[in-house]
Amino acid sequence: MTEQKRSEIESELVATARRVLPGGGFGNVSHELVIARGHGSHVWDVSGNEYVDYLLGSGPMIVGHAHPEVVDVVQQVVAEGTTFFANNPYGIRLAAEIVDAVPCAEQVRFVSSGSEADAYAMRLARAYKKRDKILKFEGGYHGMSDYGLMSLAPKRAGNFPQPIPDSAGIPRSVRDEVLVAPFNDLDTVASLVREHKDELAGIIVEPFQRLVPPKPGFLEGLRKLTEQNGLLLIFDEVVTGFRFAYGGAQQYFGVTPDICTLGKAIGGGFPLAAIAGRADIMAHFDKGAVAEDAFMVQIGTLSGNPIAAAAGLKTLEILKRPGAYERIFKTGRALMEGSRRILKDAGVKAAVVGDAPMFDVIFTEREVQDYRSSLGDEATMKRCNAFLRAHGVLKSESKYYISAVHTDEDVRVTLDAFANAIAALRDAHAA
């Protein structure tokens, strides 16, 4: 197993990035890496090093990079014009496909990012219920808005339901409008709902929070509580939509929310996301359908962009074919089981957390069931990821994303690299 080399061109680009970009990067994955191209389940950096890619562009590339059918349709559509700020056939067809596939979706509004979709979904709940407060879960990721950045990754343990802002620059007043509960803890949610039900508009939740699965009955319990107390239930399916199943986590777990947000997969690698939900709720986006003071103005220059919509439609068409989800689950399970075996053989205490379409190894001895218990030994995780990266396996700091085109050979190479990484970590620990 050879370690990868950096070319002069890549080193120069990294140096330029350090000069002109804050922190030397776009704010995403390792800034020491400049990716030049991708094909299928692999990407190549500017130096020509090849990686098995589990970053998948942070999720959208679920049918692989530069899928020939996606490239084909994008080339056709781009030659017809790139954006019109008007309805276009691809966006309309994509909305119809989402309505067919996703249980809660009767209507769809497009935006350009998951962050926007989540911000609008929370506003939609507030507009519909005419109340200000939203309940979210500690560690739940709902984009970069002031509300989304409440207790996403708090450095210190606050007292529930008090939120802790994750960013500078968020007005103090936002803290008064967000309640925070521990994921998978229905009793705490129930008591917060009892106490605040006249102020609460709804509950937003990632049905599979980061890598943490919902305990049996948790999502069903949220559905029941929200129904009984007249609150809206929002599923953030930016990650899970079309990934856990064609109808998303709501289909996979059999619990239908009132509204959901979608992103990543539905844009086929282009900027596109959506809010989808019950028609009477979505009516707030329609000036003609609600009273003037209930209307939610929502405009976006690139909303429903034809290229993104065409790429998304083709991605969904590929995912819908027999065998696509079977492949994702087979690959993910092989990697999860293989990683568990390697950790056990090496006597390293760690948990392989998640489900086949997305999972990771967390260096902890605890049972992972919420944000706090998901915090493992971050330094070891970083070293492990850096080792994998240096040996041709690319993943984010906190997740493997599995595509429909990863191969058995990718699994073999990855488990080989992981076994070497664990051996190196153990040796370093012993030294």
CB of 19 to ligand PLP, least distance (A): 26
3-state secondary structure of 242: coil
Region of 22 (left: φ > 0; alpha: ψ -120 to 50; beta: rest) is beta
Among 41, 49, 88, 113, binds ligand PLP (CB under 6 A): 113
The helix/strand/coil state of 57 is: helix
Beta strands in 191-294 (DSSP E): 200-205, 232-237, 259-262, 273-277
User: Counting contacts by CB under 6 A, is residue 236 touching ligand PLP?
Assistant: yes
Per CB under 6 A, the list member of 126, 131, 142, 395 interacting with ligand PLP is 142
Q: Helices in 201-247 by DSSP H: which ranges?
A: 218-228
For 196-205, b where at least 16 C-beta lie within 10 A, e where not — what string?
bbeebbbbbb
* Of positions 38, 40, 91, 114, contacts ligand PLP by CB under 6 A: 114
DSSP code at position 165: B
Tokens of 222: 């949220």
Q: Quick one: which of 4, 7, 30, 58 contacts ligand PLP (CB under 6 A)?
A: 58
Tell me: cis bond preceding 22? Omega within 30 of 0 counts. no
Could you give the CA distance from residue 400 to residue 332 in angstroms, rounded to a whole number?
9
Q: DSSP letter at 65?
A: B
Q: Is 265 in the site for ligand PLP (CB under 6 A)?
A: no
Residue 33: how many CB atoms within 10 A of its CB?
A: 20
CB of 10 to ligand PLP, least distance (A): 25
Query: Whose Cβ is closer to ligand PLP: residue 114's or residue 247's?
Result: 114
Q: Is 269 in the site for ligand PLP (CB under 6 A)?
A: no
Residue 273 makes contact with ligand PLP by CB under 6 A: yes
- Spot the catalytic one: 129, 133, 136, 264: 264
Is 141 catalytic? The answer is yes
Residue 236 a catalytic site member: yes
The footprint of ligand PLP on this chain (CB under 6 A) covers a number of residues equal to 14
Task: Considering the candidates 236, 355, 370, 410, report the single residue annotated as catalytic.
Answer: 236
Q: Does 214 bind ligand PLP (CB under 6 A)?
A: no
Note whether 143 binds ligand PLP by CB under 6 A.
yes
d(CA 54, CA 402): 6
Residues belonging to the active site:
141, 236, 264
Residues that bind ligand PLP (CB under 6 A): 58, 113-115, 118, 141-143, 206, 236, 238-239, 263, 273
